[in-house]
Structure 1
Amino acid sequence: MTQPPRKLHQPHQPCHPNRRQCLAGLSALGLASLVGAPAQAAERFPVKPIQLVLPFPPGGSFDPVFRSLAEAASRDLGQPVVLMHQPGAGGVAGTANLARLSEGDGYTLAVMHNSVIRAPLVQRVSWDPLKDFTYLGSLFGLVTGVSVARDAPWKTFAELMADAKARPGAISWGNVGAISINRISAERVARGAGTSFNMVSFKGGAEAFQALIGRHLDVYGDPGFGPQVQGGRARLLAVFSDQRLKSYPEVPTTKELGYAVSIDSPVGLVAPKRLPPEVQQRLHEAFRKAASDPAYLKQLEAFDMLPQLSSPQEYADYARAQYERDQKMLAEIGFKLD
């Protein structure tokens, strides 16, 4: 039997007779779906826990600060933010590990601080802090203090410096990390006074304060002094800030004491490079919101850290400017990379 010829399928044309208006409407709908795709992707993120690398040992001042921040961010993100301690190289190694990843997906973040930005200027590394991270924004600023044990012989910073001049190299001065701005600033102060300290590097603040209180270390020049000073176990002699702290109005700044040295040291978050912009924005918004959490702000106050929020672009711009400032400063003090 001869089959009737097959008819070609004709597409359904529900828009006829006003075809132009219909096509315009369909085109707009298609564009809307494309524009909405990144937003939908951002809404889907995250779908699993996020790791936050803390490049210092447990027990230091960063531990309770970032633990409270992570808890607040977890509530907004709907997934746990898990702290991962990866100490080493003065707080550089853990964050630097992210720079070696080819791209970010938002599930591995790290704490960024100025020693990481400075690292290529003082040691040979295979990564670039200006190219190999996605900056998420700064969170708070560190305040560096000069602390001694409560039973130490120096009651003022002037007494400490007078003793240092009489005994160059005899007084030990501790910092976290051999390349921190806190150590560099202490050496600049000593050089300006015509003396030197015996510089000692520690892995973290908890270890350093234990040595200070036990009188195995003479001076500790780093942030995180609040609980030790308020608990009466240590004495604060000076702060490397532009203004005196409200919590310690009697403690002078190094500038007041005649040393033209102050420290601006923001701390923030980064992800590996090539992080999708919508994920970057989602993370920035979540942690910015978490930065207003009362429990987190209480921890900042306890450790004399000051809120210092910035956008991803502002933090990336700061990193570039800080890199250039450190480059100039190291040249001024005659530092040469071996």
Structure 2
Amino acid sequence: MNRRDLLVTAFAAGGLGYSPLEALADSYSPRTVTITVGFAAGGAGDLATRVIADHVRLTHKIPVGRDFRPGAGGTLAADQLARAKPDGTTLSLYSASPIIVAPHLQKVPYDPLKDFTYIGSYVAIAIPFFVRSDSRLQGWDNVLEYARANPSGLRWATAAPRGVAHIATEAAFAREGVRTTFVPFSGGAEAITALLGGHIHAVVSSDYGPHLDSGSVRLLIETGPDSIPGLPDVPTFKSRGYPISIPASYGLIGPAGLPNSVIEWWQNSIRELSQTEVYQTFLRTIRGTATLQDPATFTRTVHDGYRAVGVQLAAMGLKT
């Protein structure tokens, strides 16, 4: 059973009591909502969008569509959101790459500190570096040994070129003094297909769960600062002292100026979702950790992360 089927089965089994948020219905009752997604369909970002979209559709009877705009490290979706009307009909899935990293590396038509409303995050995720289970690269030190012995011979990919995992991994390789070859793909699913087909050596992506469960991949290191739930023996970039190790999460954001009634409505919807068995199934499927941040905390987390990454990239000579 794939990840989509797991969530569909959980929804069908019940556990979604009707809660219409009557107090806010008069001020915010959209006929439809679109959530833009900066990654290709079929990956962890798709699943994170689907779980909240399906909850709102089934619980509040509001159709929520998903608009996939992969490419450019998620910045296409972020640009679309920044230009949207702040009426609650267009939101976007939050991920760190287009908000925290990309504006430091390229010219983007939006300002992460001014052009978005940070509604709330609802899951923390791991973005590990992994190989095929039959790879001769048994551990992270083996990866570095191979890269030193074969300059530019190690071929690897991520779900989002120039995203947070890409830059963090490049920074790790630079710290170790090795040269590798990055192979761009439009999404994690495509990259993993190339990995399983033997076309590349490794992938850095949050889309590892089903493949780990099936025994087809082996995790070597986590690019973020925290250990992966249930896998304490997998080292982290932070534990190795690498310059960039950023916690990753998914959440919802809107354009700047989103009314408080809209923010509160979606916050309540996220809170409702978090109390369902569907949410627990989602966490198990995505191998995520619950992180229910309110707008103020979420905004502070994003802004602090943006500034910290800017300092790190400038120190590495990578900031534009």
TM category (shorter chain) comes to 0.7 to 0.9
Does the CA-based 8 Å contact 1:148-1:237 persist in structure 2?
yes
Greater Cα offset, 106-115 or 56-65: 56-65
Equivalent position of 2:11 in the other structure: none
- Using the size of structure 2 for normalisation, the TM-score is 0.86
Equivalent position of 1:263 in the other structure: 246
> Residues of 1 paired with 2:207 and 2:246: CA distance?
14
| Partner residue of 1:132 out of 115, 119, 137 | 115
Does the CA-based 8 Å contact 1:55-1:85 persist in structure 2?
yes
Q: Does residue 62 in structure 1 map to residue 54 in structure 2?
A: no
Instruction: Tell me by how many angstroms 1:336 deviates.
Output: 4.0
Identity %: 30
Does the CA-based 8 Å contact 2:122-2:251 persist in structure 1?
yes
CA 1:258–1:166: 2 relative to 1, 3 Å: farther
| Partner residue of 1:317 out of 300, 305, 313 | 300
| Partner residue of 1:150 out of 108, 125, 133 | 133
Does the CA-based 8 Å contact 2:243-2:312 persist in structure 1?
no
CA 1:133–1:260: 2 relative to 1, 3 Å: closer
Q: Does residue 329 in structure 1 map to residue 312 in structure 2?
A: yes
Does the CA-based 8 Å contact 2:73-2:102 persist in structure 1?
no
Instruction: Tell me by how many angstroms 1:95 deviates.
Output: 2.6
Q: Does residue 201 in structure 1 map to residue 184 in structure 2?
A: yes
TM superposition outliers: structure 1 runs of 4+ over 6 Å: none
> Residues of 2 paired with 1:241 and 1:336: CA distance?
20
Equivalent position of 1:247 in the other structure: 230
SS in 2 for 1:253: coil
Instruction: Tell me by how many angstroms 1:247 deviates.
Output: 2.5
Number of aligned positions between the proteins: 298
CA 1:255–1:136: 2 relative to 1, 3 Å: closer
> Residues of 2 paired with 1:278 and 1:92: CA distance?
27
Q: Which runs of 5+ in 1 are unaligned?
A: 1-38
- Using the size of structure 1 for normalisation, the TM-score is 0.82
Letter in 2 for 1:98: L
Q: Which runs of 5+ in 2 are unaligned?
A: 1-21
Q: Does residue 107 in structure 1 map to residue 109 in structure 2?
A: no
Does the CA-based 8 Å contact 1:176-1:204 persist in structure 2?
yes
Letter in 2 for 1:315: F
> Residues of 2 paired with 1:84 and 1:275: CA distance?
20
CA 1:205–1:290: 2 relative to 1, 3 Å: same
Q: Does residue 182 in structure 1 map to residue 161 in structure 2?
A: no
Equivalent position of 2:5 in the other structure: none
SS in 1 for 2:292: coil
1:172-207 alpha-carbon deviations (Å, 9 max, x no partner):
121122321211111121112111211122211110
Letter in 2 for 1:273: A
